[in-house]
Amino acid sequence: MKVSVIMSVYNGAKHVKASIESILNQTYEDFEFIIIDDSSKDKTLKIIEEYAKRDKRIKILKNKFNLGLTKSLNKAIINSRGIYIARQDADDTSLPNRLEEQIYFLNANPDYAFCGTNGKRLQTGSDILLYFGLDKIRKVLILKNCFSHPSIVIRKKILCKYGLYDENFRYSQDYELWCRLVYKYNLKCKNLNQNLIIRSIPTKRFQTNKKVFSQKLNTIRIQTKYLHFTKLTLYFFLSLILNIIELIFIIRLASYYEKFLKKIGF
* Interval 26-71: pLDDT, tens: 999 999 999 999 999 999 999 999 999 999 999 999 999 999 999 9
Confidence category of residue 180, pLDDT binned at 50, 70, 90: very high
Which residue, of 161, 176, 200, is where some domain finishes?
A: 200
Is 247 in the same domain as 185? no
77: pLDDT strictly greater than 90:
yes
Domain limits for position 242:
206-263
Rounded to whole angstroms, the Cα distance separating 147 from 41 reads: 30
| Whether residue 115 sits in one domain with residue 241 | no
Mean pLDDT, rounded, for 98-110 = 98
Both 232 and 149 in one domain: the answer is no
Q: In this structure, are 221 and 110 located in the same domain?
A: no
Q: Are residues 72 and 186 in the same domain?
A: yes
Is residue 59 domain-shared with residue 118, that is, in the same domain? yes
Q: How confident is the model at residue 243 (pLDDT cuts 50, 70, 90)?
A: low
Those residues whose C-beta lies under 8 Å from the C-beta of residue 255, and which sit 6 or more positions away, are none
Do residue 59 and residue 189 come from a single domain? yes
Mean pLDDT across the chain? 88
Mean pLDDT lowest among 16-20, 48-52, 138-142: 138-142
Q: How high is the pLDDT of residue 236?
A: 61
Same domain, 123 and 219: no
Domain count, the chain: 2
Are 156 and 71 part of one and the same domain? yes
What confidence tens digit (pLDDT) does each residue in 113-134 have? 999 999 988 666 666 778 788 9
For the residues 146-150, what does the mean pLDDT come to? 95
- 196 and 257 housed in the same domain: no
Q: Compute the distance between CA of residue 37 and CA of residue 78 in angstroms, rounded to an integer.
A: 16
Burial of 177: CB neighbours in 10 Å, binned 0-12, 13-18, 19+ = buried
Per-residue confidence (pLDDT) for residue 234, from 0 to 100: 54
The pLDDT score that the predictor gives to residue 128 is 76
- Please tell me the predicted confidence (pLDDT) of residue 9: 98
Domain boundary among 200, 220, 242: 200
230 and 129 part of one domain: no
256: Cβ contacts below 8 Å, ≥ 6 apart = none
For the chain, counts of helices (H) and of strands (E): 9, 9
pLDDT value at residue 215: 83
85 and 66 part of one domain: yes
Task: Look up the CATH number of the domain holding residue 133.
Answer: 3.90.550.10
pLDDT for position 258:
47
pLDDT, residue 64, reads: 96
Q: What is the percent of the chain where pLDDT is above 90?
A: 68
Which of 151, 175, 200 corresponds to the end of one domain? 200
Residue 181 pLDDT greater than 90, yes or no: yes
Model confidence band, residue 224 (pLDDT cutoffs 50, 70, 90): confident
